[in-house]
Amino acid sequence: MLTRNFRQGRIIFARLDHGEDIIRQFTILAEENGIETGALSAIGALSRADLACYDQSSHEYGKIALNDPVELASCSGNISLKDGRPFVHAHAVLSDRTGKTWGGHLISGTIFAGEVFLQELSGGLPLKRVPDSITGLYLWSKD
């Protein structure tokens, strides 16, 4: 098990830009604030979204395309470094106007309205993602 201790750094609240991609907005927020390791939570609404579920046997993501407006009922994730740059890993629960929900790895989404809470984590070595031969995923390095 990999463990690292951090201290709470800055807390940033941001309103996301209408029409932009949600993952890109999270990434820009981290880059502009020099955040290498952090945790995030977001709420809002998306005009469309792509979720995914990782197939553990084939080591491939199965995409779920939602081309209608949805509520961002819950979104949580983290920021670490991949190839020296901030990388966002987020999961979301989305719901339509009937209350039907979808959940999974958040690949992308066009923002209708959104708010994010970003907690910087400092005082430790930044978490870095590297390829993992067992899972086929980019996981945090034990180095």
Structural domain contains residue 1? no
Residue 8 sits at φ, ψ, to 5 deg, of -70, 125
Give long-range contacts, CB 8 A cutoff, 24+ apart: 63-71.
63/107, 64/102, 64/104, 66/94, 66/96, 66/102, 68/96, 69/45, 69/96, 69/97, 69/112, 70/45, 70/46, 70/94, 70/95, 70/96, 70/102, 71/44, 71/45, 71/95, 71/96
| The token pair that represents 75 in the structure block | 């979104």
Structural domain contains residue 90? yes
Q: State the average pLDDT for the chain.
A: 97
Q: What is the mean pLDDT of residues 17-33?
A: 98
DSSP labels, 24-67: HHHHHHHHHTT-SSEEEEEEEEEEEEEEEEEETTTTEEEEEEE-
Structural domain contains residue 133? yes
For 96-126, the pLDDT digits (tens) are 999 999 999 999 999 999 999 999 999 988 9
Structural domain contains residue 3? no
Q: What is the mean pLDDT of residues 30-54?
A: 98
Model pLDDT, residue 7: 97
pTM exceeding the 0.75 threshold for the entire prediction: yes
Model pLDDT, residue 107: 98
| The token pair that represents 57 in the structure block | 């046997």
pLDDT at 141 over 90: yes
Q: What is the CATH number of the domain that holds 114?
A: 3.30.1330.80
Model pLDDT, residue 143: 78
Model pLDDT, residue 142: 87
For 58-69, the pLDDT digits (tens) are 999 999 999 999
Task: Give the domain extent around 124.
Answer: 10-140
Structural domain contains residue 2? no
Structural domains of the chain, count: 1
Structural domain contains residue 26? yes
Structural domain contains residue 91? yes
Structural domain contains residue 35? yes
- Using DSSP's 3-state secondary structure scheme, residue 79 falls into strand
